[in-house]
Every structure is written in structure tokens, then in C-alpha cells.
Amino acid sequence: MHFFAQTVYTLIYFYSNDLNHFFYMSKEVKFSLVYRDMWQSSGKYQPRVDQLTKIAPVIVAMGCFDRIETNGGAFEQVNLMYGENPNKAVRAWTKEFNKAGIQTHMLERALNGLRMYGVPKDVRQLMAKVKKAQGVDIMRSFCGLNDPRNLELSVKYAKEAGMISQAALSITHSPVHTVEYYMQLVDKLVEFGADEIALKDMAGVGRPATLGKLVKEIKTKYPHIIVQYHGHTGPGLSMASTLMVAQAGADVIDCAMEPLSWGMVHPDVISVQAMLKDAGFKVKDINMDAYMEARKLTQEFIDDFLGLYINPGNRVSTSLLVGCGLPGGMMGSMMSDLRGVHGAINMALKKSGKPEVGFEELTVQLFQEVEHIWPMLGYPPLVTPFSQYTKNIAVMNLLSMAQGKPRFSQIDKDSWSMILGRAGKLPGPLAPEIIALAKEQGLEFYDGVPQDAYPDALPEYIKEMEENGWDRGEDDEELFELAMHDRQYRDYKSGVAKDRFYKEIEKLRAEKMNVAGAPAPEPGTMPNYMKERYRNATPVVATATGQLLWEIDFNDKSVPPTPGRSYKAGDLFCTIQASYAMMPVNLEISGRLVDTCIPQGAMVKKGDVIGWMEPEAK
């Protein structure tokens, strides 16, 4: 009897495994290359248009991708920042994929569009029309707070423009972010008319089993909905998550490729393909000759100038992210911000007789501080811009506590906007001390529709373009770019952006050469290309020795201030964190800012030139 029972059990076991194998063999999983996000998760800039068009046919030749993430958040903005027209870049970049029948998709931030703060709805509507005309097929839309009110217009405008609407769930792990929580959001998104659902696991902290359950529920309730999984590899969970969501019915998996895979980026397509193929799924083969060529070209782009902005630490995964949930896409900027206040924190510690901290120790302290304050702030999913806001508060808490002040002594206005509900409804309750602090400062909580705070603005921008004699561009794309990134677009049109970019490159290359033994450039000197252009410039000098802080504001506003800005005598120019106090640098003359020469967080000596002013034109 025992033998008979064991035989039956064995037959059932193998039969069920064969059924699973048969199911997976009949199920195709497609791959999407997240080329835009690969760069954003690694450094500051994206490749130039000539580089993108060079690699596009090689990516096509790889033969394994049904989709390519071509553009979206950060892509257009950083093009403007180094003086390139982003509209030409998007059109040229998508062209090869359109021709090959590979779908292209972009990333947009719902209420925030392609930037870090709210966008008027007429600009959001124009964005979908422009991007469809430029060759983008799918608009992936996410709200960092998972507020359906912010996503409704994204779905509507994408579909009106003839795009596929892919609504994303901002995935994180907390007591409030349950499968039931996400399914309530999915119900709303499907009701709005979303064609697809993306699981945007931006920090890679989604737990594999939970993500599998979520996908299974989506596919069971809405079998017609395409599900795409996007998981960063920071804490090391995303490969397990990829397998679990595929087994639950996910249709598309986002992948990266070397030399920009793993670490804070995404799993490499080779490993993902091998894993899913072994599990019995139908997956496309990879043309390895083309893969190696694309790998070589990407490395060439890194060697050109992009590598100057890539933090080597971004290639390393860390399990510390499991607790704090910070996303891979902001690691580069976060490390830069932390370096900017490292000196100020150590000065404060030294002044109070406490031991200084090394940068690695400070990084761990930041992770722990984010983990501590995140529940107090209502569990906002840590994705742009709310990851930046939470990180900003944590950084300032570390500085305040080093100075002997309590937590939350300094909260910037954009972080307050998140706390007060102006960006959307927070997933969880605020801590009583945060509510008390808001009342103490006379701040009001907002429970209205976030979009209502941003009235239509296109007529203003049309007027500005007409006054400047600027062409609105094919399909109004230049109008859109001005309306979405007005400060960066004006700098691009004036040539200031290109000047600033080459100044950055010159400085970074000089620093790199100096490490190799070349003489360092004199601090505060004016680059050669600026000398002829600004003959009448008056220097602004540091009033103390210490760390220069333009502002503690890590949004996409220009830091240092943008050239061309007007000042009056007596205006605050910047602040220097000296060993004894925060020392203001006030201007002695009125005029227009020519340029600056010291980055945020750099050390200066009293008397160093930190910028130049010139009289306003009469």
C-alpha cells in the first residue's frame, strides 16, 4: 500500500510539473531595454543624439527586444542642460525602432510631467500629442504617491493622442502597501481606460512573493491587461521578483545590459533570458555579436564624457536599501548631495567636541535616517520627486542633529508641499509631531485635487515665444519644451547652458588629470572661453573659509544660480559654512550674474573668487 501511494504521489508530482512546464512553454515573455533609465540610474547625463543614433541599429540587431525605453523624465531636461535640442534627439532616437517595428516607451510623472513639480493640464495634454508625433508609442505614467487623481489625466491624454496608456504602480514595501492597496489602484486605472499596468519597483524592494500575488490578481481579474515589470537591482531582490511575476503571468520584463547593468540599475538581459528560458518560458534569442557591439558603444559613450558623471559606487548593490527603500535612479544625485553637506556636518561635530564621520559612515547614517522618518511622513513611495523630498529632510536632519538642533528643524518648501497634501494624498498617516510642527508654523493642509493648483499656462508661453521670435517647432514641440522646462529651455536658447556644460567638462577633466599628476587649475579663475565674452565682470569673493552652500534645495532648479539673474546690492548671494558659524555672502553691487565658478558643497578660502557680476544693460 505504501509503495502504491508513493507511486501515485510521484506520478502526480511529475504530471503537475509537466503541466507547469507546458504552461510556461506556451507563455511568451517579452523584453524591454531601459536605455534611458540605465543612464539615469548611473549618472547625470544621457548620450548625445549622434551617440543614440549610432547605437540604435545595433540594439535592433540584438533581436531580443520588443520594446525600448527611449525618453521621458530626465532625458529631455539633461539634453537642454548641455545645450542639445531634446526634440531632435527624441525624433532621431525613436526613428530606427519605429522602422523595425519595436515599440518605444517613455516615462512621465503624472502631475509632474517630465519635471519635479506640478505641470498645468494644458501642458500635460500637449506633451502626449508631441511625444506621439515624435515616434513614442507608449506613455508609462506614474504618481509617486499612487494617487489616482493624478493619473486620470495621464491615461486620458495618452489615449486621446493615440498612444498606449501604461499606468504604473509605484512599488514599495510597508504596512500600508499591500496587495489589496495596489488592487484598489488597479481598479481605478482600468476604469480610467489604461491599456497596461506597470509594476515600477524603483528601489527593487518589492518582495518577490508579494509581487507574484499582485500580478496573479491583476491577470485573473483583468486578463486582457498587459503587465510589465520594472525592477532595479539595488538590494538584490529583483531577479527573484522577475521569476515570480513571470510565473504569475507578467508579459514584459524591463532589462538593462552591460556596462550599465546590475548595481543600482537593472538586471542584465542575458541573465534574465537564461533564467526564464530554463523555467520553460518562450523568450527571444540574443544576437551576442550585436550585444557585444552595443556594449562596446555604450562604453565608448562613458569614455567620451558621460563617465565623468558616473559614481563607481552605483555599480555596487547593497542590502541596506531593503530597509530604507531608496531608489536606484537617485543614487548618483544623493551621493553628490551628501558630499555637499559632509564637510558642514563634520565642522559642526568638531565644534561640539564630537568625533567626525567618514563618508561611508555618513551614508549608512542617511539610510538609517530615511528608514526612521519614512513612516513619520506617511510612507510616501520613495520615487521621484518624493524620494528626493524624503532624502532632503533626512540630510538636513543629520546636519541639524550634528549642530545640536532637533530633527525637522529645516524642511524645504517642496517637502512641506508633499507633507501638506498639495502633491496628492499620502498613503499613511503623518506622525503627530509633524502635524504639530505644521500647525506651529501656520501651515494649512490641503485635501483638494492637486491639479487644480496649476492653471493652464500655454498662452503665456506662446506670448513669450512670439516676443522672442522663437519658432514653436514641428507639432508645437518647442512650445512644449519651453512650457515643461522653462528655465532650462531659456538657458539652452541663450547659449548659457552650453557654456556651463563645457565649463563643467573642462573642470572635471582637469580634476581627473590632476589626480594623475597634472597641475590643478587655480581656484576661482575664469575659463578662457569666457574672458572675451565678459570683459566688464566684477568678481564676488568668499567672505570666510569653509564650505560653500548655494542653497539646500535639490530640485531641478539651477544650483548654482543661473547666469543672467538680477541682484540688488545687499542681496544674499550664497552662504559659507565656516567652522564657527554660517556666514552669508551679500553682494556689494547691483547687477546681473555672469557666472559662478564654485560648485555646491565645495571648500573655499576667504578671498577666493566664487562668481562674477556685471552691470545691468540700460
d(CA 302, CA 39): 10
The closest of 424, 382, 48 to 232, measured between CA atoms, is 382
Q: Side by side, which strands form the sheet with 582-586?
A: 582-586, 572-577, 546-549, 603-604
For residue 123, what pLDDT band results from cuts at 50, 70 and 90? very high
Per DSSP, which regions of 242-400 are E strands?
252-255
Q: For the chain, which domains are there?
A: 525-614 (2.40.50.100)
Q: For residues 113-139, give the mean pLDDT.
A: 96
d(CA 103, CA 228): 13
Q: What is the pLDDT of residues 544-555, one digit of tens each?
A: 887 788 875 444
Q: For residues 189-201, give the mean pLDDT.
A: 98
Distance between alpha carbon 433 and the CA centroid of its chain, in Å? 30
C-alpha torsion angle, residues 177, 182, 185, 186 (rounded to 10): 170
Question: What is the amino acid identity at position 65?
Answer: F
Q: Sign of the CA dihedral 483, 484, 486, 488?
A: negative
Distance between alpha carbon 577 and the CA centroid of its chain, in Å? 29
Which whole-number Å values give the CA distances from 250 to 211, 255, 269, 343, in the listed order? 10, 14, 16, 47
For residue 557, what pLDDT band results from cuts at 50, 70 and 90? very low
pLDDT of res. 520: 42
Q: For residues 151-178, give the mean pLDDT.
A: 97
pLDDT of res. 617: 65
Q: For residues 340-349, give the mean pLDDT.
A: 81
Is the pLDDT at 528 greater than 50? The verdict is no
Q: What is the pLDDT of residues 231-243, one digit of tens each?
A: 999 999 999 999 9
Residues 32, 267: contact at Cβ < 8 Å?
A: no
The closest of 475, 466, 425 to 445, measured between CA atoms, is 425
Contacting residues for 53 by C-beta, under 8 A, at least 6 apart: 92, 93, 95, 96
pTM beyond 0.85, yes or no: no
Q: Which residue has the higher pLDDT, 562 or 553?
A: 562
